[in-house]
Amino acid sequence: MREVIRARGHENVSAAHASTFEVTTDDYLTPAGDCILAVEADRAPADFDPEFVSACRNRDATITATFEADGHRETVTGRGDPDLTFESDRSAVGRTSDYVDDRTILLGAAFAAEGFDRELVAALAEGAELTVMLSVEE
């Protein structure tokens, strides 16, 4: 199963956060938002198909997030959890930790924003269009 989010980069994208990465529907980004990779997302977790959400709520599920912008590609793998709600209508957040809130889309991520390819980050800081493909395997 798969979900796709389209968003765009912003001049304040720094991808410096050590434990999360995020894509938001907000149309702005301050320098403090160092986990945010893109803004103006066309979808949020609350928009995802209930079957996709159900599959992600399996503790044994593998969730893969693939980010593509301006010819650059980065893939991050994490896992699902029964506590994932996918209720946020604003942001999708991947976490290296086990912390869950309504924005969380995967846990135990292999890396966070600071681990993203710097060429991809530079393209996003220049405002590149971003496609995020989320897939889940139970």
Question: What type of residue is 3?
Answer: E
Beta bridge partners of residue 70, listed in sequence order: none
Q: pTM score > 0.85 for this model?
A: yes
CATH at residue 45: 2.60.120.630
Closest CA to 4 of 80, 69, 96, 67: 67
Cβ(74)–Cβ(123) below 8 Å:
no
Rounded Cα gap, residues 26 and 13, in angstroms: 13
The alpha helices in 41-115, defined as continuous H runs, are 50-56
pLDDT of the chain along its 138 residues, tens only? 999 999 999 999 999 999 999 999 999 999 999 999 999 999 999 999 999 999 999 999 999 999 999 999 999 999 999 999 999 999 999 999 999 999 999 999 999 999 999 999 999 999 999 999 999 998
Rounded Cα gap, residues 67 and 54, in angstroms: 23
- Domains contained in the chain, number: 1
Domain of residue 119, residue span: 2-137
